[in-house]
Amino acid sequence: MSATVTPAIEPARAASVLAPSPVLTPAPPRPGGPDAKAAEELLRRMRWSAGALRRLSLDPHAATVVDGAGLRLLHVTGGSAVLRSRREDDGAVGPLSDPHEVTLQAGDVALLPHAGRHELHAARDGGACVLTAGLTLEASPFDRVSALMPTVLFTCGFRLDDPAYAGLVALIDREVSAESPTSSILVDRLIDVVVSAALRAWLERGCGNARAWLAQAHDPHLGRALEAIHAEPGSSWRVEDLARLAHSSRSQFAERFRSSVGESPARYVTGVRMRRAEELLRTGRGVSEVAFALGYDSDEGFSRAFRRHSGLAPSEWRRRGAEATAPVG
């Protein structure tokens, strides 16, 4: 399979970018490399504050709806919870019939970057407790960076991988309970650290491209092309189409894209498709349905691309992912 940019970026022929699977973890960005420097710049310039903090007690037999615009933080403080989410731009209305679904264990952190409908319920009898907060990103020009984020930005195992930061989340929960006059100040500072740590873990696991986030922020024309790719990953994107969105010639766009993002448009599109495939497979969708949704002409072409991406066939990835996120106990 060729990794070169062809006039039409065909999903089954474009090269893939390594990203995480339930069993394979990519190497972190090379220290001092462009990806690591981009992540450092992002974290240095982003500042998060919180509002509308709520503590939710979840029941396994009834869903609690978490609606609202903007970014939201979820932290499971006890038990296990099932999160079912649908972005506002998915086009559907009413109850969640085809959502993105993630099982969160105690200590896990999730960000909901997009407006939409989100439902939570306890994964088993005994209930679950969740701390939720609205987030504000106080760092221009990153006000549109959420457009490049997935439906659910999930940092699995946060409590185990970063116990010190997980302790800060527990401190946030205590401050919310204390209702001290100074609690809101401390909560804002703590939220900033915790969200930054969760984003760092997410980027280091290869789940996102910090250089693309910077490119979107610094280059509005290139940002339009990036947002279009994320909004419609199943479209048959050609370099000419993306260049037109960026108000650029094909050659100038391809060069600028590779210089800013660190990979060719074809490779980036395939990476976005594969990460969206992971989201869809996690909801239980069949391989054929996912392949069709992402613009593949055949299951075989999709399966080959997905195997290059994760090291596993789509059906095996889905099975192992279900086992990894199954409620404990």
- Same topology, domains 46-204 and 210-324? Answer is no
Output the pLDDT for position 5: 38
Q: Measured between alpha carbons, how far is residue 186 from residues 14, 78, 169, 193 in Å?
A: 47, 22, 12, 11
Q: Is the torsion defined by CA of 186, 192, 193, 198 positive or negative?
A: positive
Contacts of 245 (CB under 8 A, 6+ apart): 221, 224, 225, 228
C-alpha angle with apex 282: 299 to 133, nearest 5 degrees? 145
- Name the β-bridge partners of 71: 135
**Per-residue pLDDT tens listing for the chain (329 residues):** 333 333 344 333 332 222 333 333 334 455 556 677 888 888 887 888 887 788 889 988 888 887 666 788 888 888 999 888 876 655 443 333 445 778 888 888 888 887 777 889 898 878 899 988 888 877 655 556 777 877 788 766 666 666 777 778 778 888 877 777 788 888 888 888 888 888 888 787 777 778 887 888 788 899 899 989 988 999 999 999 999 999 999 999 999 999 988 889 999 999 989 988 988 887 778 999 999 999 999 999 999 999 998 888 999 988 876 665 555 55
- Is the bond into 141 cis (omega within 30 degrees of 0)? yes
Strand order in the sheet with 81-87: 64-68, 116-122, 81-87, 100-104
Output the pLDDT for position 229: 93
Output the pLDDT for position 6: 36
Give the separation between CA 215 and CA 229, rounded to whole angstroms: 14
The alpha-carbon radius of gyration of the chain (Å, integer) is 20
Output the pLDDT for position 228: 92
Output the pLDDT for position 247: 93
Q: Measured between alpha carbons, how far is residue 130 from residues 77, 122, 188, 225 in Å?
A: 6, 10, 18, 36
Phi, psi of 135 (to 5 degrees): -115, 145
Give the separation between CA 80 and CA 121, rounded to whole angstroms: 9
Write the burial class of residue 112 (CB in 10 Å: 0-12 exposed, 13-18 middle, 19+ buried).
buried
Q: Kindly list the domain boundaries of the chain, sorted by start residue.
A: 46-204, 210-324
Output the pLDDT for position 126: 80
Cβ contact 251:261 at 8 Å: no
Q: Domain 210-324's class?
A: mainly alpha
Question: Which CATH architecture fits 46-204?
Answer: Sandwich (2.60)
Output the pLDDT for position 158: 63
